[in-house]
Structure 1
Amino acid sequence: MKKILALTLLGALSIGIAAEAPAAFRKCVACHGINGQKVAPGAKGGVTIAGLPKTKLLADLKGYKAGTADNGGAKAIMYGQMKNVSDTDIEALADYISKLPPKK
């Protein structure tokens, strides 16, 4: 019973986080998880995006949009994902992801 209650609570928290996310974050969830704490395909060193500095996220996302960023992961996937994302959405993504709690 306690396990079911804990899982229900975790699910509710996840839904709450997702409700606050910018619409463009939907593209990120499959690889990075609903809370940004999932290690994406090809990510080196088990790095996750949750809680990264906004300046780094902005630089990386803009670099992926331009097709120039290479953080050693699955850059081709990121190039495709970011190709048609607006600068306004990139700003919203960077702000949102930087505020997510990092993986412990």
Structure 2
Amino acid sequence: MNQIPDITDSENWTIRTTLKERYKNDVELQIADAEIRLQASDRELSNCPVWVWKHGGCNFVIFKSGEHKYRCQFFYKSYRQYSTGVYEYTDVAECVVSLLQAQADFEAKEQGDL
């Protein structure tokens, strides 16, 4: 089984700073663990650290899936899950910015602004 490194202070700082810039205030950012398949063909689930936050009725998750590997999604209900369209990022800043932009675009489209 692959050992995924713990979340670093630098990664935390990057996400917290980006969220504060986006929302203009501190967001309650939680760190948890999740089990995911690192490859579609994997039979075993791998434990990975995740960042989780909620804003405006939307839930956000960034999975750390390896050394400099990140996956992300946002969802409103468990049956309404969305992603950025990129399977995995190698830069946490790019991951969080893309996730926030994808969710903002989704909201604008839902409201008829796009």
Same fold (TM over 0.5): no
TM normalised by structure 2 equals: 0.28
Which structure has more RCO (C-alpha within 8 Å, separation ≥ 6)? Answer: 1
* Higher strand residue share: 2
TM-score by length of 1: 0.30
